[in-house]
Amino acid sequence: MTSRKVVVPADDPIMIAGSSQLGRLDGLVDVAVHEDFPADPQEHLERVADAEIVVNSRNTLKWPASTLEQCPQLKMMTTCSIGVDAIDLEAAARLGIVVSNVPGRTATVVAEHALALMLGIARRLAFTTAKVKAGEWLTPDNYVLNGRTLGVIGAGAIGREMLRLGGAIGMKTQVWTFNATEERSRELGAPFVDLDTLLATSNVISIHVKLTEQSRHLVGPHELGLMKPGSFLVNTARGAVVDNTALVAALNSGHLAGAALDVFAKEPLPADDPICDCEHVILTPHTADQNTEGRDLLNSGAIDNILAYLDGKPRNVVT
């Protein structure tokens, strides 16, 4: 056995426990997987006390500076996700901890979920299903997306795939990103427009940006107010990119025709969250890439990151 150790401190819900990908580490490092959350900060620290490498599998266990500073043996962290917002990256960099993520691998998987959410909310699938089950035979208007405009916020791998899928069902597409260039516009086959224009001229807004301080509440009261009356919002990025209070207000006022969300500022979503009382919403529990294919792609990416680090050539480094 080796003295180098990899710890998965909170694999809840199960992400990497039992994955065949872990076998790729056999003989190189010891591996410990915890399938529940630590009861308190002390147990959190105890679980990683001898870990050189941590896998923050669901990116749900938080790593503020105060925690990282108590882990002098920790040298490398990887998520099984694109997002690294659970980790204080400035503190990690200061402490010399390599942080890697898994970008792009599940772009087609997540974009397919976003497409399903968009179609579902436009065709009122959740609303009408609930009414039929309740014995009501209501036939509210639903919306044809062919010929309408899809505005994509974020031009990374998932945003790029969403543009392709939108075009495939006959939608006009446009995109906004923090770093727009003519070359990227040509690659995407969609025009870059400023954010206000995107919001004001799209029938559906689909969000695909990572959560940073720059993108937190990127879509707030002002932005929601700019959206076309009767338009839809889809979010498979991070919940905190959208101001939830403002979104609830826009839905309840009838300004927006609906929203479909896979992500929330607080997860699991509390049952008493006001969004749960909104009529025309579809809510999924952060499951866009939670399928056999998606999990294996993310797990293999995390193990690839660990192997690269062990080889002295860290990859996908975000610190």
Q: Which of 34, 47, 105, 238 is catalytic?
A: 238
What pLDDT is recorded for position 274? 98
Angle at 309 between CA 304 and CA 314, to 5 degrees: 90
pLDDT of residue 32 exceeding 70: yes
Q: Are residues 42 and 87 in the same domain?
A: yes
Residue at 48 is within a domain? yes
Q: Are residues 115 and 98 in the same domain?
A: no
Q: Is residue 2 very low, low, confident or very high in pLDDT (cuts 50, 70, 90)?
A: low
Q: Which of 267, 280, 293, 295 is catalytic?
A: 267
Mean pLDDT score of the chain = 97
- Give the mean pLDDT of 28-36: 98
Q: Are residues 121 and 223 in the same domain?
A: yes
Q: Are residues 189 and 234 in the same domain?
A: yes
Q: Are residues 119 and 241 in the same domain?
A: yes
> Which CATH number goes with the domain that contains 126?
3.40.50.720
What pLDDT is recorded for position 123? 98
Domain that holds residue 146: 107-283
Q: What is the pLDDT of residues 52-85, one digit of tens each?
A: 999 999 888 999 999 999 999 999 999 999 999 9
User: CB neighbours (10 Å) of residue 221?
Assistant: 14
Q: Are residues 131 and 265 in the same domain?
A: yes
The 3-class secondary structure across 209-263, one letter per residue, is CCCCCCCCCCECHHHHHHCCCCEEEEECCCHHHECHHHHHHHHHCCCEEEEEECC
Among this protein's residues, is 223 annotated catalytic?
no
Q: Which of 286, 293, 295, 315 is catalytic?
A: 286
Among this protein's residues, is 136 annotated catalytic?
no
Q: Is residue 3 very low, low, confident or very high in pLDDT (cuts 50, 70, 90)?
A: confident
Q: Are residues 114 and 73 in the same domain?
A: no
Residue at 45 is within a domain? yes
Q: Are residues 56 and 185 in the same domain?
A: no
What pLDDT is recorded for position 60? 85
What pLDDT is recorded for position 1? 47
Q: Collapsing DSSP states into helix, strand and coil, what is residue 310?
A: helix
Give percent of the chain above pLDDT 70.
99
Burial code of 154-173, b = ≥16 C-beta within 10 A, e = fewer?
Answer: bbbbbbbbbbbbbeeeebbb
Q: Are residues 152 and 255 in the same domain?
A: yes
Among this protein's residues, is 238 annotated catalytic?
yes
For the chain, how many structural domains are there in total? Answer: 2
Are 175 and 124 spatial neighbours (Cβ–Cβ below 8 Å)? no
Q: Are residues 82 and 127 in the same domain?
A: no
Q: What is the pLDDT of residues 169-207, one digit of tens each?
A: 999 999 999 999 999 999 999 999 999 999 999 999 999
What pLDDT is recorded for position 149? 98
